[in-house]
Chains A and B, each alone.
Chain A
Amino acid sequence: MNFTYFLFFVCIVICTLIITYWAARRSQTTFQFYTAAGELTGIQNGMAIAGDYISAASFLGIVGAIALNGYDGFLYSLGFLVSYLVVLLFVAEPIHHLGKYSLGDVICARFPSNQIRWIMAIGSFIISIFYMIPQLVASGLLIRLLLDLDYTTSVLIIGSLMTVYVVFGGMIATSWVQIVKTILLMSSTFLLSLIVFSYYNWDINDLLQKVKAGTPFGDQFFMPGHLLSNPYEMISLYVALILGTAGLPHILIRFYTVKNAAEVRKSVLTASWIIGLFYVMTLVLGLGTAAVIGYDELIVADSTGNLAAPLLAKALGGDFLLAFVSAIAFTTVVAVVAGLVISATTAFSHDLYHHIFKKGKTTEKEQLRAAQWSAFGIGLISTLFALGLKNINVTFLVSLTFIVAASSNLPIILFTIYWKRFSQTGAIIGMVSGLVASLSLLVLGPHIMNVENGWILREPIFSLYNPGIIAIPIGFLGAIIGSLLFPGREKVDFETFYIKAQTGISIRRGND
């Protein structure tokens, strides 16, 4: 373990812990614990969302994907970015107006019932944990490779740190950790990009030539098709990515941290600007890696290409820069994981504990305690999972998460807000069908059922790596059919509900 790395590592860790401490002193009520007391401005929240979103998979994975595969890697970036439009146009404001703490609140605003709470909580739970595990795994790999620590140790460190943040700091700590991390990440990525350009004396053509020289694809490098071999895959992936974000609980509950609709819009726009810029810069970094380091060396280090960014840093700036970039990557992971734990914690303690187990009768202190305990529990569970999953391909789990979110959560959310004939039973059926479809298609697909290195060593029954194009429509269909077959008695007038969702105004309607 290099002394420099260790010092840096410790430094950044101390700094984030301090922010948590500062936040912990203010996080005394449940409202504050869950949603930072509505204090964040739109721009701050946007930065936090960006921080939540740009996970280790983005920073490390995409740089690597672009370095290895050129255009297809960039498609991932595009999908991630464009998804924010879906959020902005359809989902962000209604969620802000309808709920208070969790996604369950939103659906229950229209269908108040325990069943809905259960199903939403389960959905949020699953998605959050699935999203969390690749982060922990990625961080484990990262730290193992940089600091020469054992994989298990690294995962344990990350897991416990993250739990500490959330248990003591609540949402504020994670919001500010996200914001700080966003600033750090953006500025260091920017500077790194500048260094790449300056390395080639600001001659872009030279850079592009070197890229082609550095990869076996040669001139073909810039052509699409190296990763996503057939068009169905491409479309399937693209659609899943675009629709997925609007179903991710840990992003959606961020809209509770600001105080009105205008700030919500600002948040989404800010986040999209930041994320967009980020992905343009990662493009530069990916190309830079291909040019400076070259395909072969990259593959040697890690076959998934996850180490592209750190290796680039080392080549351009020596150990110092490598240490810095790794520290940033570490903070990235921590921030994202903290955000995920919050959303999973919310699902558990607010939806299940408060509403269902205790039937809505808990004191604030009890709720806070429950939230903290559940944060601890979730941290523990996911750490344990991650320990056992070190050979799983990280991108697999990330895309799984998006597909699950897009096929189970998203139909429910959209129909609740926009479809008059949506029913409670339809919601449940839709959710279940989406989950089942996506999970089973993945299990039956080439990720898991792979003759060479899958969990199940057989020929895959379903041939697409990205089953989104099938699973998502199934989810939507399930919801539609369920509602048509089992129309419910509406307890809530849809017109009123719609207006409340879109504008936050509660109108009492007379006898019309």
Chain B
Amino acid sequence: MKDLTIILLERIGLLLVIAFVLTRIPNFKSLLYREFDTKMTIIHAIVFGLFGIASTHFGIVFSNGEVLKQSFVWSVENDQMVVSLSLIAIVIAGLLGGPIVGLGAGIIAGVHLGFLGGIGWFANMLVNPLTGLLAGLTGRFFSKARVISPIQALFIGVFPPILQMQLLLVLYPQHTTILQFVNVTGLPLVLSNSIAIAIFTAMIGIVLKEQENEAAIATRQALTIAEEALPFLQRKSPNERAEGIANLLYERLQVAAISVTSQDEVLAFRGIGDDHHQLGKKIITPLSKEALESKEVRIAYSRTDIACENPDCPLEAAIIIPITEANDTTSLIKFYFKKSQHIRPVEKVLAQGIGQLISNQLKVISNENLKKNILDAELRNLQAQINPHFLFNTLHLIATLFRVDPKRARHITIQLANFMRFNLGIASESLILLERECEHVKAYIEIIQARFSNRLQIMFEKEHTVSNVLIPPSTIQPLVENSIQHGLKNVTTNGKIDVFIKKKGDLIQVTVQDNGVGFKTDKIAMISQEHQQQHHQSEDGGVGLYNVNQRLISLLGEESRLHVENLPTRGSKVYFTIPNGTVRRNLNDDKRYDSRR
């Protein structure tokens, strides 16, 4: 019996070596951690069934109470018995893949044994599927983890050979050979099988652990990259941002090349193939467009998918990651690879993670910017509330009017109070009803009109049909103020300012135009510039045009931005459009954010 045990262990050793080599092959490895659906189940069953068949052939033949010293099992005579090691593979199949995989693999191995023949073939044929099924059920019962621990596997592995022996006894009564067989091979089989199963389980556990470790490392990497990317993301210039990110990613990751694009062209490229993938080039890859549209990661597995025009381009595969800022894809980051096999699940997860993290960073940054702008506006309004100039001038006006036209004086006083009250209320809300802003503007206009009645004429016109519209506070008044301050500064007579609020299709257009000197060209550029170099302070302490622009864009989107023009006849025109009947939005509600840049 000792000899038999040793022989069996030797054979098993061979099997284990092959198994180990198999687990080093990436394709086989990936087999282990794929998700389990019907296709995978069938594949697993077949693979393990084949392994079971191989194990049978690695077994030995028993004849006349002795072990035949054959190298491997090729065929079995009618008076011989095969000692098959297939149970090992079947139990593993059950433990790893569940009852169905075990059953399937067992059927395959069992049928093969049936065909092989020899004494006891029926019992052999029966015990394999049965073991597979039971092993699967037991595995589930013992441990909820994906793979059972080797020790538990050891325990479980003791029983299949026992089952086999008992089945032999049940199905072949009073057969002396069987009795002999059971007594000679029973224990060696039990020992060898259970040890083999335990070792195999440990091997599989290691493979799965490796995958976990890889995922952990990848996660850590992604987080580090996101942190390091922060300073680059805070840059205002998109090109600088792109370059910084591209460099960072290229250095940190093991990819062939990195490309960062905007919505239609390449902003930065680093890595192999940078001779022809250059800045400024338009995006042509159809998958990129898909990624932009769908806001989901896309993967190009072949050169045709990448559709690079250059035939010598060494890049064969790519992962395309859309970066979203406030619900819209503003740029893409592409990971390029030389071969599509380099894209493993780890890379995909990493790409996804980085895309997510960077998008989040951008969102945070834009939120901060917005808050800064709002803060700005609030500060200025506070200043406006206590600005001495405007107040003195207006009080002086009121004092003068007292004697001449007391009714008017009273009226102006009330308008001043209204105006100041509106200024006070600006800080608390991000959007108000258009009517309120109109009252704000009208109060201002009345005061100004009273001061400069002979120099200036201001007309305010709002269509009746316009109602129930929301607008950021203090957006129209500054425009009027600006016209007075700059456009009409040096105009002494016949100055005109017109304020129109009209419907234009689905939108409302607010226009303020004057017949003053118009804007200097550089000022026009400055107002619509995304970054500002200096604070644009007006003398009356009102909110600057730049600030108005920023708030319009942040709260209502790019299409609401300020348009500044000089009129062909003298003067300037400033207008913006807002959507009609907007739903009340909250500044803190990111989900409803709808801005496009």
Residue positions of A touching B, CB distance < 8 A: 3-4, 7-8, 11, 15, 18-19, 188, 191-192, 194-195, 198-201, 316-321, 323-324
B191 to chain A: which residues have CB within 8 Å?
Answer: 7
Contacts A18-B151, A19-B155 aside, 13 further interface pairs with beta carbons under 8 A come to A4-B1, A4-B187, A15-B155, A194-B170, A195-B169, A198-B169, A198-B171, A198-B173, A199-B173, A200-B173, A317-B182, A317-B183, A320-B187
- Is A320 a contact partner of B173 (Cβ separation < 8 A)? no
- Is A11 a contact partner of B169 (Cβ separation < 8 A)? no
Taken together as a complex, chains A and B put the C-alpha atoms of A11 and B179 apart, in Å, by 22
Tell me, rounded to whole Å, the shortest Cβ–Cβ distance linking A270 to chain B: 15
B154 to chain A: which residues have CB within 8 Å?
Answer: 15
- Is A318 a contact partner of B183 (Cβ separation < 8 A)? yes
The 5 sampled A-B contact pairs (Cβ below 8 Å) are: A4-B1, A195-B173, A317-B166, A321-B165, A321-B169
A198 to chain B: which residues have CB within 8 Å?
Answer: 169-171, 173
Taken together as a complex, chains A and B put the C-alpha atoms of A192 and B166 apart, in Å, by 8
Tell me, rounded to whole Å, the shortest Cβ–Cβ distance linking A465 to chain B: 38
Tell yes or no: B162 within 8 A of A by CB. Answer: yes
B187 to chain A: which residues have CB within 8 Å?
Answer: 4, 7-8, 320, 323
CB within 8 Å of A: which B163-185 residues: 163, 165-167, 169-171, 173-174, 179-180, 182-183
Tell yes or no: B158 within 8 A of A by CB. Answer: yes
- Is A318 a contact partner of B155 (Cβ separation < 8 A)? no
- Is B170 a contact partner of A195 (Cβ separation < 8 A)? yes
- Is B158 a contact partner of A318 (Cβ separation < 8 A)? no
Tell me, rounded to whole Å, the shortest Cβ–Cβ distance linking A107 to chain B: 37
Q: A7-B191, A18-B155 are contacts. A317–B162 as well, Cβ < 8 Å?
A: no
Taken together as a complex, chains A and B put the C-alpha atoms of A191 and B167 apart, in Å, by 8
Taken together as a complex, chains A and B put the C-alpha atoms of A18 and B179 apart, in Å, by 32
Interface residues as binary, B252-287 with A (CB distance below 8 Å gives 1, 0 otherwise): 000000000000000000000000000000000000
A3 to chain B: which residues have CB within 8 Å?
Answer: 1
Taken together as a complex, chains A and B put the C-alpha atoms of A19 and B141 apart, in Å, by 14
B166 to chain A: which residues have CB within 8 Å?
Answer: 188, 191-192, 194-195, 317, 321
A15 to chain B: which residues have CB within 8 Å?
Answer: 154-155, 158
Taken together as a complex, chains A and B put the C-alpha atoms of A201 and B152 apart, in Å, by 37
Tell yes or no: B353 within 8 A of A by CB. Answer: no
* 4 A-B pairs with least C-beta separation: A320-B186, A198-B173, A318-B183, A191-B166
Taken together as a complex, chains A and B put the C-alpha atoms of A19 and B149 apart, in Å, by 12
- Give chain A's interface secondary structure class: helix
- Is B158 a contact partner of A317 (Cβ separation < 8 A)? no
Tell me, rounded to whole Å, the shortest Cβ–Cβ distance linking B504 to chain A: 69
CB nearest neighbor in A for B5: A7
Taken together as a complex, chains A and B put the C-alpha atoms of A201 and B173 apart, in Å, by 7
B186 to chain A: which residues have CB within 8 Å?
Answer: 320
B158 to chain A: which residues have CB within 8 Å?
Answer: 11, 15
B165 to chain A: which residues have CB within 8 Å?
Answer: 317, 320-321
Residue from the list B162, B171, B179 in contact with A318, Cβ < 8 A: B179
Q: A11-B158, A18-B151, A18-B155 are contacts. A191–B182 as well, Cβ < 8 Å?
A: no
Tell me, rounded to whole Å, the shortest Cβ–Cβ distance linking B174 to chain A: 6
Taken together as a complex, chains A and B put the C-alpha atoms of A4 and B187 apart, in Å, by 7
A201 to chain B: which residues have CB within 8 Å?
Answer: 173
Taken together as a complex, chains A and B put the C-alpha atoms of A242 and B171 apart, in Å, by 39
Tell me, rounded to whole Å, the shortest Cβ–Cβ distance linking B194 to chain A: 8
Tell me, rounded to whole Å, the shortest Cβ–Cβ distance linking B176 to chain A: 10
- Is A317 a contact partner of B169 (Cβ separation < 8 A)? yes
Which of B155, B169, B180, B182 counts the most chain A CB atoms within 10 A? B169
- Is A199 a contact partner of B155 (Cβ separation < 8 A)? no
CB nearest neighbor in B for A5: B187
Which of B158, B163, B187 counts the most chain A CB atoms within 10 A? B187
Taken together as a complex, chains A and B put the C-alpha atoms of A199 and B171 apart, in Å, by 9
B162 to chain A: which residues have CB within 8 Å?
Answer: 324
CB within 8 Å of A: which B38-93 residues: none
Taken together as a complex, chains A and B put the C-alpha atoms of A150 and B179 apart, in Å, by 30
Taken together as a complex, chains A and B put the C-alpha atoms of A214 and B173 apart, in Å, by 20
A4 to chain B: which residues have CB within 8 Å?
Answer: 1, 187
CB nearest neighbor in B for A7: B187
Tell me, rounded to whole Å, the shortest Cβ–Cβ distance linking B91 to chain A: 15
A320 to chain B: which residues have CB within 8 Å?
Answer: 165, 182-183, 186-187
Taken together as a complex, chains A and B put the C-alpha atoms of A15 and B257 apart, in Å, by 55
Taken together as a complex, chains A and B put the C-alpha atoms of A423 and B187 apart, in Å, by 61
Taken together as a complex, chains A and B put the C-alpha atoms of A317 and B186 apart, in Å, by 11
CB nearest neighbor in B for A15: B155
B151 to chain A: which residues have CB within 8 Å?
Answer: 18
A316 to chain B: which residues have CB within 8 Å?
Answer: 169
Tell me, rounded to whole Å, the shortest Cβ–Cβ distance linking B143 to chain A: 10
Tell me, rounded to whole Å, the shortest Cβ–Cβ distance linking A288 to chain B: 12
